[in-house]
Chains A and B, each alone.
Chain A
Amino acid sequence: QKEVEQDPGPLSVPEGAIVSLNCTYSNSAFQYFMWYRQYSRKGPELLMYTYSSGNKEDGRFTAQVDKSSKYISLFIRDSQPSDSATYLCAMKVRQAGTALIFGKGTTLSVSS
């Protein structure tokens, strides 16, 4: 079992839809959770960063962490064609100097 599991999709939705992206993990030592967006031929761009269970909202994006279930989600409201990209979840343990552990990424396509 991989440390971080993420459905690669692809996921196709119409403009304006609510999108739900998810990751599960097996290592209970993970304490910091991130979502990155990656456009084609570009590097990952940090979208959301949280380190506690519950919800964190930033504009149209909401990150949700459930440590008891080892499950994280990213919700995108009122999705736009410009949201079409690959979304990567990433997480790390509390120890300093450790690398991020990434999911494989979910490819999202939003059609106008």
Chain B
Amino acid sequence: GAGVSQSPSNKVTEKGKDVELRCDPISGHTALYWYRQRLGQGLEFLIYFQGNSAPDKSGLPSDRFSAERTGESVSTLTIQRTQQEDSAVYLCASSLGIEAVQPQHFGDGTRLSIL
């Protein structure tokens, strides 16, 4: 595909359930980022992956959040025991590398609603 692909586009679940969100980066992009966008707020950094290096998890808000990436392909973001404050749009971005000059390109996000 030409761009970053995320699935599902929408997810509604009950409080306390686990959810898994998926991101397919642009082919050839080695760096992958997850952000969260709450209503009326700017994007908040969650985690990033670069190749086989250890991910930077400094933005994850709690230990209920985790993410994995297989090599330089698909990534999944998992939220366990969801809470209502987890309701947000979760955006994935990829870039050619982690060098500061490389721009990040975003998918359309997963809109998560916790009932």
Which residues from A are CB-within-8-Å of B109?
43
Given the known A-B contacts A99-B33, A103-B42, A105-B42, are A43 and B100 also in contact in the complex, defined by CB atoms under 8 Å?
Answer: no
- From residue 60 to 105 of chain A, which have CB atoms closer than 8 A to chain B? 88, 90, 92-105
Complex-state Cα separation, A98 to B102, whole angstroms: 11
8 Å CB contact of A44 from B48, B91, B98: B91
Chain B min CB distance to A49 (Å): 5
- From residue 59 to 115 of chain B, which have CB atoms closer than 8 A to chain A? 59, 91, 97-101, 103-109, 111
Complex-state Cα separation, A37 to B105, whole angstroms: 12
Number of A-B contacts (CB under 8 A): 63
A42/B43 in contact, CB under 8 A? no
Contact with B along A1-40 (1 / 0, CB 8 A): 0001010100000000000000000000001101010000
Interface residues on A, range: 20 to 34
Which residues from B are CB-within-8-Å of A49?
103
8 Å CB contact of A99 from B40, B48, B99, B111: B48
Given contacts A4-B42, A101-B45, 16 further A-B contacts (CB under 8 A): A41-B108, A43-B108, A46-B103, A46-B104, A49-B103, A88-B43, A92-B100, A93-B100, A96-B97, A96-B100, A97-B48, A99-B33, A100-B35, A100-B43, A104-B40, A104-B42
Residue positions of B touching A, CB distance < 8 A: 4, 6, 31, 33, 35, 40-43, 45, 48, 50, 56, 59, 91, 97-101, 103-109, 111
